[in-house]
Amino acid sequence: MKPYTLIVAATKTYGIGINGGLPWRLPKDMAFFKHVTTLIPKTSPQHLQNVVIMGRVTWESIPAKFRPLEGRFNIVISRNLDYDLQGAPNTILVDSLEKAVALVDPERHGRVFVIGGAHMYQLAMAETHCSHILLTSIDSDVECDTFFPAINDTDFRVATHQELEAYVEQVVPQGVQLHKDIGYEFLLYIRQ
Ligand SMILES: NC(=O)c1ccc[n+]([C@@H]2O[C@H](COP(=O)([O-])OP(=O)(O)OC[C@H]3O[C@@H](n4cnc5c(N)ncnc54)[C@H](OP(=O)(O)O)[C@@H]3O)[C@@H](O)[C@H]2O)c1
């Protein structure tokens, strides 16, 4: 099975969502998400397209005009295989994470990202195929009702900033950044 990366923005207490949406609006984090999930590494054939795997609730949280996420193969997970994707192109529905990952075709697909939500992160982090976690660590006590699983530091180590920049193939601001009154920091964890 191909390794995959979790990409998430979470508070220090691992809050990630509220009322089916995001608790914050961080334009630079959204731009980072788009860059990273779209990027085909220089060493890979450039005709490949990355895969984004998400739970049905996260799919519905994306405004209709922005889904499917463009330039990426979208896989939505639901127990209901009759769920209506409303004809979304370049998007497929499956009923398990295993089936989603099994759809990855090395001839067509580059990196694989699990993009949420809490249910998908929980399932995905438990598997050794989860090789990287890109965490935007958010310094805010905003209310959340949905949480990322705690990152176990015997399974994952924090990468250096150089490793993060090498992974995403771009300069990344180092340390805590500020957007209005919210501090945030881009971090990479690597399975050890
Ligand atoms: N901060 C971030 O980086 C970030 C990223 C993504 C999402 N979020 C937030 O997270 C929240 C959504 O997370 P969530 O945990 O509620 O939902 P989710 O993980 O996006 O989707 C949950 C759905 O996935 C399906 N599912 C769950 N377990 C399954 C299994 N074992 N087999 C097959 N299907 C399964 C079910 O769909 P059915 O009910 O259709 O069967 C379930 O309702 C939202 O607030 C969203 O904004 C935050």
60, 77, 122, best to mutate for ligand 1 pocket (most atoms within 8 Å of CB): 77
CA angle (52 as vertex; 90, 107 as ends), nearest 5: 70
Q: Which amino acid is at 106?
A: P
* Four-point Cα dihedral 93, 99, 102, 103, nearest 10: -10
Q: Tokens in use for 122? A: 């929980």
Mean pLDDT, the chain, integer: 97
CB of 177 within 6 A of ligand 1: the answer is no
Q: Which CATH number fits domain 4-9+17-191: 3.40.50.1370, 3.40.50.300, 3.40.430.10, 3.30.390.30?
A: 3.40.430.10
Cβ atoms within 10 Å, residue 162 = 9
CB of 23 within 6 A of ligand 1: the answer is no
pLDDT given for residue 18 in this prediction: 97
pLDDT given for residue 65 in this prediction: 94
The string of pLDDT tens digits covering residues 26-71 is: 999 999 999 999 999 999 999 999 999 999 999 999 999 999 999 9
Using an 8 Å Cβ cutoff, are 147 and 140 in contact?
Answer: no
Distance, C-alpha 32 to centroid of its chain: 11
11, 62, 120, best to mutate for ligand 1 pocket (most atoms within 8 Å of CB): 120
pLDDT given for residue 105 in this prediction: 96
Q: Report CA(22)–ligand 1 centroid distance (Å).
A: 13
> What is the distance between the alpha carbons of residues 110 and 191, in angstroms, rounded to a whole number?
19
pLDDT given for residue 1 in this prediction: 77
CB of 137 within 6 A of ligand 1: the answer is no
Per-residue pLDDT of the chain (192 residues; tens, 9 = 90+): 789 999 999 999 999 999 999 999 999 999 999 999 999 999 999 999 999 999 999 999 999 999 999 999 999 999 999 999 999 999 999 999 999 999 999 999 999 999 999 999 999 999 999 999 999 999 999 999 999 999 999 999 999 999 999 999 999 999 999 999 999 999 999 999
Neighbouring residues of 3: CB distance < 8 A, sequence distance ≥ 6? 112, 129, 130, 131, 132
Each domain of the chain, given as residue ranges in start order, spans 4-9+17-191
Q: Report CA(21)–ligand 1 centroid distance (Å).
A: 11
Q: Is 18 helix (H, G, I), strand (E, B) or coil?
A: strand
